[in-house]
Structure formats: structure tokens, C-alpha cells
Structure 1
Amino acid sequence: MTGMTEIPETRGHGLHLRAWRVGDEGDADAVLKGLTDPEFRRWNTPLTPVDDLAGARRYLLKRSRLTESGDAVACAVADDSTGEVLGSIGLSVINPVFRTAIVGYWVLPEARGCGVATRALSLVSRLGFGELGLYRIELGHAVGHEVSCRVAERGGYGHEGTLRGAMFEAGTQDAFRDVHLHARLATDPEPDVV
């Protein structure tokens, strides 16, 4: 397994995964909208909050650098026919020795309920198991986040258990909540995603 300095444009299921574009105001706007969305913040507490366009630009730059270093793969999820950004998906904490990574995603409010996250999960899993040569990809979500649980299950990520106190509570880095752990192996059958 080798690091990836460029993200291959990946298409399928009506979606297009591509690298986030540093300096692109449309991408910065999408990041700002996604990371300030109340539903996103209900379930996620970023280490570095994004509250304005300057923060969104820094977010894009950081994702680009992590991809260049091989530590992560951060993708914009776009509609394949219109190019409109619908959300984000990426692989982080890439461990080339154990061939593991963690997948994370979010979807813009107007794109929810259309299977975007599940379809994007299928594409990024193919990228991880194929291009990156990963063997195991983990997905964790806050206990109680039933939508994310369904995305994991539909994406072929079986529930493996509960990690106690493994995620920040909403809006704070001083309290913790439990996480449901899901995972998929390269040898697991690829689920049917529509």
C-alpha cells in the first residue's frame, strides 16, 4: 500500500468523488454550510471548528495537505451530472502497516434522504480497498445517530460493538459520549447500492 498524492476522480451511483479544491469559493461555501449545519453539529464536534469562510478555506488547505502526505484522502461528493457539491467523504488515520483507515462523511441538508452518504461510502470503500490497498476500514458514529447507523449497514459495514467515551459530546471537547463501531474488510462482499 502506498500513499496517494492525488485523488483519482471516482464516479458511480450518480456521484463524482473528487479532491476538494483549495481556493475554490464554491467548495469553501459548501464546507462552511456543511460544518455549520445544526444537524452536523448535533453529532460532531470538530477539533477545529469552522465558523466562517476563512475557516472553511483553512479546512480545505488542511485536507489538501493531509492527502499530499498520504495521511488521509478527503473528497468532495458531487452530483455526477451537475457537479453540485452534496457533501464530503474521506479516509483518515490511514495506517499503511496494518492497512487500515477510518471513514467519515457528511451530507448537506438539501441532499439528505437521497442515499448520497450510502452511495459515497460505496465509492470511497472501492477507492480504499482498491487504489490504497486497505484491508480494513472502520466507521464510527455517536450512539443514537440512527441515520448514520443505517448508512453503515447499507454500505456493508457491520456493527462490531460500542466504544465507551470515544467521541466528544456535541459542542464541547470536555465531555465524551459513546460510539458505535462498524467496519468492513476487503474480503467482505460488496453490498448492492442503488
Structure 2
Amino acid sequence: MPFLTSPVLPEGTLSRRPQPDIPAAAGLLLRPWRPEDAPAVHAAFQDPVLHQWHVRSSESEEEAAGWIEGWRSEWARECDAQWAVVHADTGELRGRAALREIRLRDGVAEVAYWTVARARGQGVARHATDALVRWAFQEIGFNRLELMHATANEASCRVATKTGFAVEGTRRRALLHPDGWHDMHLHARLRGD
């Protein structure tokens, strides 16, 4: 059955080019993940705060290396796009920024992020999100970016609102965490907002 509309972004929009480095404010850089990032990813996932808001844990550097291999391959499949957020001069890992659940046909993706414990409170998630959103809208041409976080995660809500994501509603019992079901705030930005 034919579609009545053309895709917002055609297949190959991401995969036909190498995944870019994206400069961000405050001396940060979003760059593709590298195998040598595995120890830092494993260390980041030992943080109880990440356990509170994420559904994964890392039991070993080898497991983290497997995640990185998967993250790197997602670009070619155009399903997710993941970046390490690093200090541009030192290369020290500060966090992660991602476009998840990419639907090129609709021009929609979900923005996700986390920061390492020592980088919290420094605007890392905000600066990384600003840079990723700018790239996604201006360089690629996405129409809509969504961002979800647990309603109890006030820090993530501040990042969403500071980066221009309007609250659209609450998805009740939308994600199961180790401590039970979490209601999730849904935020969104449109190209041109």
C-alpha cells in the first residue's frame, strides 16, 4: 500500500555519512564512542544515581565494551545515534548524548543523556543537549525531538526545560525501573521552536 506522503528524512540520511563530532559550549565535544571508552562507561554505571534513573547496570568493562560496539553499529542501522560527551581538550568522559528510537520517515527521534557523577551540576547535559538538538534540526532536518524522564527526576526536567523542550504531558506507569513503575514526563521540541 503506497504512502500518501513522502518521508521527512529518506533512508540513508545518517548512514551515508560518517557520524560527526559535534562541538558544544563550555569546552565540550560530542564524539562517536570508541572501544577505549569502556572503562569510563563501566565506572559511570557504578553510580547509584544512574541506577535510580536508568534500567541498566554494568558488571564489567567487557560488558561496557559490548555496549559501545552496539552503540557504534546503530549509526549504520539508523535506529539510534549515540555520542560520548567529553572535555574537548582532555578527552575525559563527562557523559552521553543520544538520539534514540529514530523514525526517519516521520522525522522524529528521542533525545537521551546521562552524566558522570563528577560532572553533575556543571551544565554538561544542558550543553550537550543544546548541541545535539541544533545539529539534529539544522544539519539533518528532523521535524520533532522528544525527551522523556521520570517525573521524580527534577534534574532531568530542568535540563529539558532549559533546552527548550515543552512539557506535553505525563505518560503514566510508562517505564519499569528496579524500584517499580515510573510515570514519565514527555517533553518535545519542534524544528523552528
Q: Secondary structure at the match of 2:106?
A: coil
- Is the Cα–Cα contact under 8 Å of residues 87 and 105 in structure 1 kept in the other structure? yes
Runs of 4+ in 1 over 3 A off after TM superposition: none
- Is the Cα–Cα contact under 8 Å of residues 66 and 73 in structure 1 kept in the other structure? yes
Percent identity between the two aligned chains: 36
Alignment partner of 1:9 is 2:42:
no
How many equivalent residue pairs?
180
Larger deviation, residues 35-44 vs 134-143: 35-44
- Is the Cα–Cα contact under 8 Å of residues 34 and 106 in structure 1 kept in the other structure? no
- Is the Cα–Cα contact under 8 Å of residues 166 and 178 in structure 1 kept in the other structure? yes
- Is the Cα–Cα contact under 8 Å of residues 77 and 88 in structure 1 kept in the other structure? yes
- Is the Cα–Cα contact under 8 Å of residues 44 and 168 in structure 1 kept in the other structure? no
Q: Which residue of structure 2 aligns with residue 129 of structure 1? A: 137
Residue segments in structure 2 that go unaligned for 5+ positions in a row: 1-8
Q: Secondary structure at the match of 1:130?
A: helix
Residue segments in structure 1 that go unaligned for 5+ positions in a row: 189-194
CA distances 1:11-35 after superposition (whole Å, capped 9, x unpaired): 13021110001x31xx101211222
Larger deviation, residues 27-36 vs 97-106: 27-36
1:161 CA drift (Å): 0.7
Q: Which residue of structure 2 aligns with residue 178 of structure 1? A: 183
Q: 1:59 aligns with which of 61, 67, 70?
A: 67
CA distances 1:73-132 after superposition (whole Å, capped 9, x unpaired): 100001122221101010011101110000111000001110000000001111211233
Q: Is the radius of gyration larger for structure 1 or structure 2?
A: 2
Q: Secondary structure at the match of 2:45?
A: helix
2:85 and 2:79 map into 1 onto residues whose CA distance is 19
Instruction: Please give the TM-score of this superposition, normalised by the length of structure 2.
Output: 0.89
CA RMSD, aligned part only? 1.3
Q: Which residue of structure 1 aligns with residue 3 of structure 2? A: none
1:148 CA drift (Å): 0.2
